[in-house]
A = this chain, B = another copy of it.
Amino acid sequence: MPTENLLYLRVADDLRRQIVNGELTAGSRLPSRAQLAEQFHVSENVVRRAIDVLMAEGLIETRTGARPTVRQRPQLRRLTRSWYREQREGSPFRADIKAQGHEADWTCESKTTTAPPTIAERLRIAADAPVMRTDYVFTSDGEPVMMSTSHEPLELTRGTPVMLPERGPYAGQGVRDRMSAIGQRIVTATEVVTARPVTQNESAALNVSAGTMVMVIQRTYWTDERPVETANIVVPVDRYELLYVIPVEGD
């Protein structure tokens, strides 16, 4: 169906065209529903459905009482998910953000708890085994942009200087350096990437509107023998793209 004959889709198409063409600049306001209805000679209801479509596409934002605003297309920032042929030191997140000309920082909170089943499986430890759980919220230029929840088996770190990830001599230096300090040499990371709608908690913490999507990276760090850390990293799809550099082996 090249030409759309449904009213609300026709309206949505026209408005979308104006947005991507720049006739409606980022940050500007759309006409009100009543104005659009008169303009397109349709009912307000049709306009509302068209607005819903554009909102689902992430092109506009709506707030009750205010006319819809054209979202400024945030430039995608790139997260490099690879150490291949790079000499990376300290926190990968900070290095990535600084490389793109922004200020990076984070807050975190650690507590000991017991491993939930999915985490236990990923760490290959018994369910309910003691773990150190650390919740991070990462900020770029002061705005929260990413969050993650990390789990480390306490059987590895208990009683060592690195038990608390963000305290002590190795604070803020990343998992690899911390684990290295207690003789755990990380040689591999696995990352399982999925995408899903944002949860209420995440939408509040990351200041993104409900219904938008996030990518979830289930990252696990491995020594030659065992997994030593695993984390769920949550990134809004409209803020980040992920870059993987993959060595291709074989003749």
Tell me the A residues contacting B by CB distance below 8 Å.
56-57, 76, 78, 81-88, 176, 180, 186-197, 211, 213, 215, 221, 237, 241-251
Contacts and interface: CB of A to CB of B under 8 A. Distances in A.
B237 A76 contact: no
A246 B194 contact: no
| Top 4 closest pairs, chain A to chain B, by CB | A193-B242, A195-B237, A189-B246, A195-B195
Contacts of A221: 248
Contacts of A215: 193, 195, 215
A83 B246 CA distance: 7
Nearest to A79: B193
Given A190-B243, A192-B244, 19 more contacts: A81-B244, A81-B246, A83-B246, A84-B246, A84-B249, A187-B247, A187-B248, A188-B245, A188-B246, A188-B248, A189-B246, A190-B245, A191-B243, A191-B246, A193-B215, A193-B244, A194-B242, A195-B237, A215-B215
The residue among A187, A188, A249 with the most chain B CB atoms within 10 A of its own CB is A249
Contact of A250 (B88, B237, B247, B249): B88
B195 A213 contact: yes
A56 B209 CA distance: 14
- Residue among A85, A245, A248 facing the most chain B CB atoms (10 A cut-off): A248
A149 to B, nearest CB: 18
A175 B193 CA distance: 23
Contacts of A243: 190-193
Q: How many copies does the complex hold?
A: 2
A184 B213 CA distance: 39
A221 B247 CA distance: 10
A241 B192 contact: yes
Given A56-B211, A211-B56, A248 B194 contact: no
A143 to B, nearest CB: 20
A173 to B, nearest CB: 12
A247 B84 contact: yes
Nearest to A1: B200
Contacts of A248: 83, 176, 186-189, 221
Contacts of A190: 243-246
A227 to B, nearest CB: 13
